[in-house]
Structure 1
Amino acid sequence: LVPTVGLVIGMGSSFYLLSKALEHIPLGTAYAIWSGGGTALTAIVGILVWKEKFNLKILLGLLIIIAGVVVLKLSH
């Protein structure tokens, strides 16, 4: 039950914060940041919490995602 409650709270707050972001930045940028950030955070949680493998390719992928988000944000 606890994981389900955490999921509902997390998803609800995620969509709420996305809707607030859309008040200030374009949809394409907001969605790219939302999905890229979610992907990166999921990978980081997997590495830290569930001890998933971490190597140079994963690090490079995460850095590319973060760089893409930064470039999108700076373009507006």
Structure 2
Amino acid sequence: MKYVYLGLAIASELIGSSCLQASKQFTKLVPSVITVIAFISCFYFLSFALKSIPLGVAYSIWAGLGIVCTALISVFIFKQSLDAPACIGIGFIVVGVIIMNLFSSSVSH
């Protein structure tokens, strides 16, 4: 269940970040309200994940996957572009999360 909560935290963060972009600096009401609700939900679910996942591990997965997925959303939804260094950096983030989950004794499975 701990990874379900972490997944919900990541999903909520992605919704919040996407709606933050759509809110046009909080000038559009509906995306602004969704942003606030999504970020509150994000930290609520993250707090449940932290009951059984170490902070460093949970935050690394949450932030890493959030960065990768937000970058993909920015490309496919908001039609923004990523250059080669950005793609390489995102690749390093993915590899780091994979290494941590496969080889670290800090990760509780």
Note if 1:50 corresponds to 2:78: yes
What is the alpha-carbon root mean square deviation over aligned residues? Answer: 1.6
Q: 2:36 aligns with which of 2, 5, 8?
A: 8
Identity of aligned residues (%): 42
Q: 2:91 aligns with which of 49, 63, 67?
A: 63
CA–CA distance in 2 between the matches of 1:72 and 1:32? 9
Structure 2 gaps, min length 5: 1-28
Note if 1:24 corresponds to 2:52: yes
Considering Cα pairs closer than 8 Å and 6+ residues apart, tell me whether 1 or 2 has the greater RCO. 1
CA–CA distance in 2 between the matches of 1:20 and 1:72? 21
CA–CA distance in 2 between the matches of 1:7 and 1:69? 26
Normalized per residue, which structure has more helix? 1
- Size of the aligned set, in residue pairs, is 76
